[in-house]
Structure 1
Amino acid sequence: MKGRFTLSTCTLAISALLSAAAFSAETKEYSASQQAVRIAQETIIVDGHIDVPYRVKEKWVDVTKATDGGDFDYPRAVKGGLNAPFMSIYVPASLDNSPESTQLAHELIDSVEAIVARAPNKFAIATSPSQVKAQFEQGLISLPMGMENGSPIQGSLDNLKAFYERGIRYITLAHSQANHISDSSYDLRRKWKGLSPFGKTLVTEMNNIGIMLDISHVSDAAFYQVIELTKVPVIASHSSLRRFTPGFERNMNDDMIKKLGENGGVVMINFGSSFVSKAAGQWRTELTNARKALIEQEGEDSPKLENFDENYRKEVPYPYSTLDEVLDHIDHVVKLVGVEHVGIGSDYDGVGDSLPIGLKDVASFPNLVQGLLDRGYQRNDIEKILSGNVLRVWQQVEDYAAAH
């Protein structure tokens, strides 16, 4: 008879520390002053990455109205002052090297167009910085689009052109596995040792057509190769800093941030707790190890696996990061390379129930502005962080393409 599964003494000790940290964070309240609310409402806010299209594919909801779940809908966006969220056209790595990859990308673009069609008095597609600015003046929320995972290109520059014509304005070269373009930070196999031969060609073609290069998710080697090849600044649409999450290659290290600064690019800070704090990443590792221990002890058919994550979370509360820790990431970029090279890439609707205390949904942007004010940022610098920096890069990419 197999023994009853219990957390190890080590895990319980860690859980006690994490629980104390989580309790401390939960007890802090964040509120925005009238000044912060006014700045959020009067400033264009570009969020580099929101996963609404895939969210509505998995379970359809009408985000033109208030929704019970998720992190984004029209009323909350208006409340938070969010008026230019990049809609993520996310294609899972499991579809790499298949026609389904390209088809899904087109379907997700269709879904963004459908949102606008249902509420043209609320939303509008945006394919240029000038459109974002004009639609902001009209009181519309712009929906620019970025493709997360270059898999749908399928090695075809005709596909690249087709996606440009449909409104794609950045491409995250890879996702969780190496694809035909680039190695991934999550994939231990380094298939290409950076970019593939086609990936190197694609960098030039994206420069020439006017699509921003997004280096979130790619391996370190791929990042450096992109920086060497590109003729225009690049973005990290939803990445944070490895300094605060040692060993997490998905985030950027200090040397990469410096290279990005030299390139003129922008890192757009991801809000997900595991991107922001070491404790959240450790919690995820402990969860995985505990599940593996249960399987080793009771087998893969154990009924305890059915609700394992939920039960684990009850016993070991998740250590949510905080708005203050997100601000630490912003501060560090500013100290390294200047305020011109940092932006916002929340990953709302993409990181599940892992968002920081104080930044739980798109209505929370005034809290972020308040935090920046509290840390001494002047309004012109806050506006750069909220949108000015990424709009600059986008314009530079457009200008280069127009000249080539």
Structure 2
Amino acid sequence: MLKTKNIFIIFFSLLVLVFAFIFYILANSHLNLLLLKQYEQKIKSLDDTLRFGLLEQLNPQNIKEFATYTRADFIIKKNGELFSSLDETFENFEKKALLNDKKFLTKEFNFKDYNYTIIVYPYFTDFKKFWSKMLLFFGFYLILVLILFYFIGKKLAKHLQQILEFLQNIDTQKNVFLENSIFKELNLLNKKLFKTKDKILKKNEKAKKQSDKISLKNTQLTSVISAISHELKNPLSVIDLSLLILKDENLTDEKLKKELLEKIMRQSLKLNKLTEKLNFVFNFNTQNLKMQDFDLFELCKKIIENPGFERVILQGKSSKVKADEFLIEQVIINLLSNALKYSQKEVILSVENSRLCVQDFGIGIEENQLKLVTKKFYKIDSKSDNSFGLGLFLVKKILSIHKSYLEIFSKPNQGSQFSFKL
């Protein structure tokens, strides 16, 4: 395939040549016609001169002199007498002229007793010189045109090459320079290309964010499945082992049997709580709310009396609220469980004026993670298998349906504070 500049050169060269050919045909025909008309006019002028002044004065002695002055030839016949400016008969003259491709015009006239023929010679040799000059001028003009279109074609080819490079990198951050062109349409195309590149990069960025989000969700889901599997595996292992021991016919220790049954009950209860938590995350809606009046301080007192909350210090006073007691209980349990998990010291639980606050003195949370800890399946330690990443998400969801929100203040290595108000 030809390059753009070569196509330009060939196309315009052919265009110029076709124009030159058509111009030559039309101009040559027109100039020939003009010359013929001029010499026909000359014949008429000579005829008028002969008729009204000189015809009777011409004779065999002065006719050649007259022919020299008028640059024409004459053949005159009167009363059978014939004399001519030619040195030969007209028939021989005509034959020689045809052989030598010599052009001439003739016309016969009758006036009084005279029968005469006028012969004129158009100067076609001068006409050929004219075309030689025209050809030289046209050649010079053609060279200028070719040079001009060569540079235009080269400029256009360079711009098209830039556009091709731009299109190859249109979905990348690489900047490709597109210079301004003498063609308005190409400049408009440049602007359109830059706008298109900007749109594509924005869409790519959006797609990348979506991909990262999906990847994060998949990672989180994998972690959750792993955590659920781990959480299910431990109680099931305890239940299986306890049942295996109980099936032993030789087991007579009633105390051991009772301990094993209590273990099975505890692990069953743990499994039940796990399924309830997962069911709540994926299926809960506001229609399940059971709003009631209760004392938030008394609820906290009841929670910390359970095993596992020995390091919790309760502060505050009675505070009446209206909410779903079971759900608020889940919120408090989750907040206390998190605080105890990440702190080896005491955890302070305070209640006052419908406001609850959990204060720990543990590892704290980095600032860039504060907005992420309440996301579904998000875990600060992605390698940890003892967390679903659902605790704070549940808290946030429960509080939101109670028209409340979770406030978090934390400093790394100093501790965290979680609070809400009903």
TM (normalized to structure 1)? 0.17
Greater relative contact order structure (CA < 8 Å, 6+ sep): 1
Instruction: Considering fraction of residues, name the structure with more strand.
Output: 2
Larger Rg: 2
Instruction: Considering fraction of residues, name the structure with more helix.
Output: 2
TM (normalized to structure 2)? 0.17
